Structure 1
């Protein structure tokens, strides 16, 4: 028994040493030890040729006893080579492109924070969100607005920064377009044929479907088109009654800014002037913005050359709420001081020349900058999910 006790002691020590580099946890070790009953070792009776007068009791079997040893293991500090900060990207490009484009960003982050970062590429956004939730102190992810909303609601992941695109906006919007006289409210769309380029789009379909459902309005046939331009052409040629497409607000006259909820989507119509094409290709109303005019940028402007009366033949009935662009997200337990350093470095990097061969390159994200994110901006996605009673899988489908 002394040998067993010695082996047990050595085993526990070795176990402690092996686990010392693992994640912090309480490890419960169960060890089986043999215990002698009453301290007596019973002899085995001998067989004889003569009948036995009495039978010697069989020796008692040793009784197993479970000893529980609790060992507390310490993880390596976050940001060390053994435990770098995980900077995760969804597979929006090849692994080689993501890794190469991310190198300059990692170098900038390591120089600014003094900790080590490692790029990771999960198989999908769903897997990325799972990692944000499973390792909330270690992970930073770049995800879509829908993925962030799910991560926040599932495990309190936090939005840090939202991307600005080449249109100088940190969000995207959709518009419902009809012909003149085609209605003035959502209720007028009941039973109408609707051309849609993507029935998974948050701003161009799901948001409006949720608004119609909220109002108790059921549209007619949903006609799927290859892209926004073909959906608009179907409306223009009277094949359908309504369509949805991308809305980018016009560039306003000098010293004015288009503001959602305050500025009319087609304020320029008050001038009573039809749009024209400028020599360098812009669709303008009353000249360039610096001279008091408007530059039109919504999806109809792409059809201007083939249908120059597209703006006269269609009207915007309603806009979706803004849906944020890609978002930099932190796990719920990520250290606050390191998060602040990382956010400041990311914003500075996105505004630098170095970003042009990294996050801002055309074969990666094509961003023009990063701005602070606000969780309330993602409420339209929650409205869609709750109103249409969508499962998480329905939103993942939108991200494919």
Structure 2
């Protein structure tokens, strides 16, 4: 009886161990099928990307859970030896072969899962780098700026970002191969894509950003240039107006040759100031020819002012030269007339109450000669009066020249000429 009971107990333990082993094997078989389906589902589902972010945010969690589930199943199989100690060799041998087969299947599944997980995590890190670069590009673009130097700094930053993009471009083909090896497909907004495609999209975004900044920079620089040209144009206009006003304002304190010569020197200085601005005028013309500044012709006013200023200086220089010639003519005529009349007056004063015949004859000859000289002064008198009228006419056009005594002086010379002529005629006829 005791032996029978021992056999019964051993048989029960064998049955229990065998049942537990069979249940474990059956469970493992089910799990292997489930794990395979989950992995196939993970592989078949495209990894869709939107805005450089995985559309399914649970992908990494799902594959991690699958790996952990396989590990737990492997741990369960590892306990088979201890749980099947009550089985004999005839029972253990076929069970061990089945467990080994399942362990091999699970190991293969785990390798595939970890390969897929590694590829998925590499993709996630790659996408994070893309997002960082995209944010950097957006940060550099920012709000519109009106400072050319700031815009240039932004473009310099984009050049540095381009280095990061180039680095990602170098890594993209390797990641594409890694994904291909893990049998993972990638889509972007539902369309098939590769990591290299995403880098290309980022390069395009970078180029568009740089193009936009370059356009802003050009506009700002052009605007600054136009403001600078406008300031230079207004400055030159002001200088030209000063020269013109100085030429128009500078008068003649007295109608003399030294005063006219002094006025010519002042006008010559003004002409020098005008000529010194010619280079700036040429530069403004060249700058204007390279690009229009707003509507119309902004240099038209400057051109007109330049011509007006040139005319103002040149006209007054010509006026002074005419005055100098007229003053020389006036002085020459006055000198000649004055000398002739002075000789006549001296001759008249030489008359005495009584003189010898010889002296009388000499006096008569001298008076006769003076009479002819005085008679010939008529044309000279007309000439000097004409010169005086011209002087008067020109002097009236000059500011501050209030004294114009030439006509009065000419009238005085005519009166003196008539008086001396009358005295000389009286003397002539008396002596005869």
Asked whether the two chains share a fold, i.e. TM above 0.5, the reply is: no
TM-score range for the pair, normalised by the shorter chain length: under 0.3
Structure exhibiting the larger radius of gyration computed from Cα positions? 2
Normalising to structure 2: TM-score of the pair? 0.21
More helix by share: 2
Name the TM-score, length of structure 1 as normaliser. 0.23
